[in-house]
Amino acid sequence: MDSNDPIHDYQRWLTFQRQAQLDREHRAAWQKLEASGVSATRTTEAYRSMAEKAAGQGACYRTLFLRQHSGGPSLACEGWLFVRRVLAEGGATRVRATLLPSFTLQDGHLEPGATDAEKLTLEIFDQLTVGQGMASVARVDRIDASGDTHFIALLDSVRGDLRRHLG
C-alpha cells in the first residue's frame, strides 16, 4: 500500500484515536479503583467468580492492561480474559488465565482468533499508595512475562462465545 494513500493514513489515525481512548479509559478505571481502595481479598473473590462463570458458561471478560514498550511508554491494551483458576500459593494469589488480545497499538483492532490466545499467570496483591495519606489498592500484574501490568477486568462486559478461540 502506498504510504501516501489517504485510506492508509485514515486507518492509522483511527488506530491512534482508539489508543488514546483506551489510555483514558484505563487511567479512569485505575483512579476509580484507587479512590475506592479495593483490596486484594475482594479482587480475589471477583476473580474466583470469573473462574466459576468461565468454567460453567465460557465467560470471557473485557480486560484493560498496560504494556511497557522497550524504551518507551506503557500503553493501554485491550483483550478478553478467560480465567481458568485462582490459586493461593505461599501467601500469594495467582490467576491462571488465557488472554485473547483485541487491541494493541502495533496491531490495531484484532478480531477473536486473528492472533493466538496467550496463556498467562497473573498475581493479585495490595499496592501501598502514598498521596493524600497512605492507602492500599489491589493490583493485578502478569508475572510469567515482563511488561504487562495493571490488569483491570471489567465485570460488566462479558462474552460467552469465545471459547473456540482459546486454543
Q: pLDDT for 120-137, tens place per residue?
A: 999 999 988 776 667 789
State the average pLDDT over residues 3-25. Answer: 93
- Residue 163 predicted with pLDDT over 60: yes
pLDDT at 17: 98
Cell (9 digits) for 53:
462463570
d(CA 44, CA 40): 6
The structure's pTM equals 0.91
Q: pLDDT for 76-115, tens place per residue?
A: 999 999 999 999 888 899 999 999 999 999 999 999 989 9
Residue type, 99: L
What share of the chain has pLDDT > 90, as a percent? 83
Q: What is the DSSP string of 10-62?
A: HHHHHHHHHHHHHHHHHHHHHHHHHHHT--HHHHHHHHHHHHHHHHHH--EEE
pLDDT at 4: 75
pLDDT at 2: 53
Q: pLDDT for 134-161, tens place per residue?
A: 778 999 999 999 899 999 999 999 999 9
Cell (9 digits) for 150:
495493571
Q: Hey, which residues does 64 pair with through a beta bridge?
A: 78, 152
d(CA 54, CA 46): 12
Closest residue by Cα to residue 26 from 79, 71, 69, 97: 79
Collapse the DSSP code of 165 into the 3-class scheme (helix H, G, I; strand E, B; otherwise coil) and give the result: helix
Confidence label for 1 from pLDDT (cuts 50, 70 and 90): very low
Dihedral over alpha carbons 19, 48, 92, 41 (to 10 degrees)? 90
Instruction: State whether the Cα torsion 126-40-103-55 is positive or negative.
Output: positive
- Residue 3 predicted with pLDDT over 70: no
